Amino acid sequence: MKTTLKGLGAALCVALPFIAQGPADAATLAANSAATPAADQSLVQRGAYLAQLGDCAACHTAPKGKPFAGGLPMNTPMGRIYTTNITPDAQTGIGGYTEAEFAQALREGVAKDGHNLYPAMPYPSYAKVNDDDVKALYAFFMHGVTPVQQANREPDIKWPLNMRWPLKLWNMAFLEKGAYRDKPGKDAAWNRGAYLVQGLGHCGSCHTPRGVAFQESALDESGSAFLSGAPLDGWFAANLTGEHNAGLGRWSDEDLRTFLKTGANRHASAFGSMTSVINNSTQGMSDTDVAAVATYLKSLPSVGGNGAPPYTYDPKATKVSLDRPANDAGARVYTAYCMHCHGAGGQGFAPMLAPLAGNPNVLAKDASSLINVTLNGTGDLVINGVPSPFPMPGFAAVLDDQQIADVLSFVRAGWNNGAPAVGAAEVAKLRQSTQAAR
């Protein structure tokens, strides 16, 4: 059962000029260079990297679709919406946008024609992007992306919930305008990390709890809920604070840097939306930026968590159950389907196969991610063009709701994890919702 931090943002904006299979590789940039003055090519290249940090491809490129042409379905509490075409096609994309109009859409959530964007587009985070970076992003999307003529699809949201004018009021209440400003008393690495996490990385879009109006409860470290973990579309985006059990408290800077570059470390492996973030964004970050993000995240104080004492590994009681699995329904399922990858000791074979003992996702109060990945598995991590040899398979067709509840309850109690049990009703609910979302 591969587990992960689900995080650093599930996003809306990236090109991959420097890693395999990216939509804005060197050939694409060269093909478009004729339309761009030579003096601007360095700006286009810089914009490509910044777009990668923002992870636009993850949302604006549909499966088997053309890069940045949109069409990816996204579920919201009001209904399904579809991401838009952000290629420079003049009719169906953003080719007619001026730089000022592009900046307005990016940082304020207002399109060229004046209609408001849904805040599924993380413009409250992109509001912090500075003018120089907006300029580079604009250069990239106008001259580094191939135009695609593909009409945008209307949202599946019924009247009156599809009216856009209430979003103007939402922006007045919750949008904080103004680019990020360096915090006095913090060094350059911390401020760079804060700028990336809060801005282009938009980590809070997934990892910060939301209020009744779908607003993020905090937009930076000044709010106690910032990056403390949140439910999201059938997953639980993990706690990224210094909390010892369900957060990053036991992770070193090197652990975090390794996870961002490869999607796996000695504590966890990426799954769900985080797989796309690793594949499309963070693995291509510069070492300096990865280190800055780690510096900032490791500075955040402990918030949330499961309230349990700090985790310590203890395999004794679990070993007894696995020696006699006939006496424990969860142990029976674990020995049949899980133990060959994750081991009797629950420590897996990191980083190839994730540990379950002490894994932050296993220790979280919300078991949604564990249920989801057990039901549906996860996509391949593709690092430097090489797919992971051991992706997590899905067991929805093999195990019933009670069996999955039993094995996850066993895992959450095992090896001194001490996390709450999982009920069959929780599994049934998530099974139904994830099937409906397909």
Q: For 77-93, how does the pLDDT look when each residue is reduced to its tens digit (9 = 90+)?
A: 778 889 999 999 999 99
Domain assignment present for residue 43? The answer is yes
**Nearest Cα residue to 189 out of 302, 292, 298, 324:** 292
Q: What is the DSSP letter of 264?
A: B
Whether residue 397 lies inside any domain: the answer is no
pLDDT average, residue stretch 394-409: 98
Asked if 70 and 82 touch (Cβ cutoff 8 Å), the reply is: yes
32 lies in some domain: yes
H helices of 145-186, where? 166-174
DSSP SS3 for 324: coil
pLDDT reported for residue 62? 92
Whole-number Å distance between alpha carbons of 228 and 231: 11
First-to-final CA distance of the chain: 22
| Exposed/middle/buried for residue 424 (C-beta within 10 Å: 0-12, 13-18, 19+) | middle
- As a whole number, mean pLDDT of residues 26-42 equals 54
pLDDT at position 321: 92
Q: Which amino acid is at 135?
A: K
Taking Cα atoms as reference points, which of 413, 405, 228, 254 lies closest to residue 320?
Answer: 413
State pTM to two decimals: 0.88
pLDDT of 120? 85
C-beta of residue 310 within 8 angstroms of C-beta of residue 244: yes
Q: Which two structure tokens, joined as six digits, stand for 260?
A: 């961002």
**How far apart are alpha carbons 11 and 206 in whole angstroms?**
9
Q: How many residues does the chain have?
A: 438
pLDDT at 14 over 90: no
Domain holding 143, by residue range, is 26-174
Torsion of CA 298, 303, 308, 310, to 10 degrees: 20
Q: In 3D, which of 107, 137, 119 has the Cα closest to residue 213?
A: 119
**pLDDT at position 22:** 39
Asked which of 96-105, 266-275, 286-295, 302-311 is least confident by mean pLDDT, the reply is 302-311
Question: Can you read off the two tokens belonging to residue 295?
Answer: 């510096």
pLDDT at 374: 98
Digit-coded pLDDT (tens) for 93-150? 999 999 999 999 999 999 999 999 988 899 999 999 999 999 999 999 999 999 999 9
* Cα 321 to Cα 330: distance, rounded to the nearest angstrom: 9
Query: How high is the pLDDT of residue 24?
Result: 43
Element holding 80 (H helix, E strand): strand 79-82
Q: State percent of the chain over pLDDT 70.
A: 91
387 pairs with which residues across the strands? 382
**pLDDT value of position 185:** 96
Is 128 a domain residue?
Answer: yes
- What does the alpha-carbon distance between residue 343 and residue 334 come to, in Å, rounded to a whole number? 10
Measured from the Cβ of residue 314, the count of other Cβ atoms closer than 10 Å reads 14
What pLDDT does 26 receive?
A: 42
* Residue 274 domain-assigned (yes or no): no
Q: What is the structure's pLDDT at 4?
A: 37
Residue 381 within a domain: no
Residue 357's contacts (CB-CB under 8 Å, 6 or more residues apart) are 313, 315, 345, 346, 347, 414, 415, 416, 417
Residue 31 is predicted with a pLDDT of 45
Rounded Cα–Cα distance for residues 47 and 237 (Å): 28
pLDDT band at 37 (very low <50, low <70, confident <90, very high): low
C-alpha 295/C-alpha 242 separation (Å) is: 12
User: What is the predicted pLDDT for the residue at 438?
Assistant: 67
Question: Is the distance from CB of 194 to CB of 183 less than 8 angstroms?
Answer: yes
Has residue 2 got a pLDDT over 50? no
The whole-number pLDDT of residue 305 equals 79
pLDDT number for residue 347: 96
Instruction: For tokens 């103007």, name the residue.
Output: 168
Is the pLDDT at 417 greater than 70? The verdict is yes
Per the structure block, which two tokens stand in for 122? 């993380």
pLDDT, tens digit (0-9, with 9 covering 90-100), for 172-230: 999 999 999 999 999 999 999 999 999 999 999 999 999 999 899 999 999 999 999 99
In this structure, what DSSP letter does residue 364 have? S
Q: What is the mean pLDDT of the chain?
A: 89
Angle, alpha carbons 120-361-228 (nearest 5°)? 50
353 or 33, which is more confident: 353
Binding residues for heme c: 56, 59-60, 203, 206-207, 338, 341-342
Q: Flag whether pLDDT at 382 surpasses 70.
A: yes
The count of structural domains within the chain is: 1
Q: Is residue 40 part of a domain?
A: yes
Flag whether pLDDT at 365 surpasses 50. yes
Q: Is the pLDDT of residue 10 over 80?
A: no
Give yes or no for residue 244 having a pLDDT over 60. Answer: yes
C-alpha 89 chain-centroid distance: 28
Both structure tokens of 84: 């838009």
Q: Is residue 137 part of a domain?
A: yes
Q: Mapping DSSP to helix (H, G, I), strand (E, B) and coil, where does residue 230 land?
A: strand
**Six-digit token pair at 187?**
């060094």
Q: How many Å apart are CA 15 and CA 66, to the nearest integer?
A: 12
Q: What one-letter code names the amino acid at 154?
A: E
* 134: Cβ contacts below 8 Å, ≥ 6 apart: 99, 102, 103, 106, 107
ω into 160 cis (within 30 of 0): yes
Tell me which residue of 60, 72, 69, 75 sits closest to 13, measured CA to CA.
60
User: Residue 21 has what pLDDT?
Assistant: 33
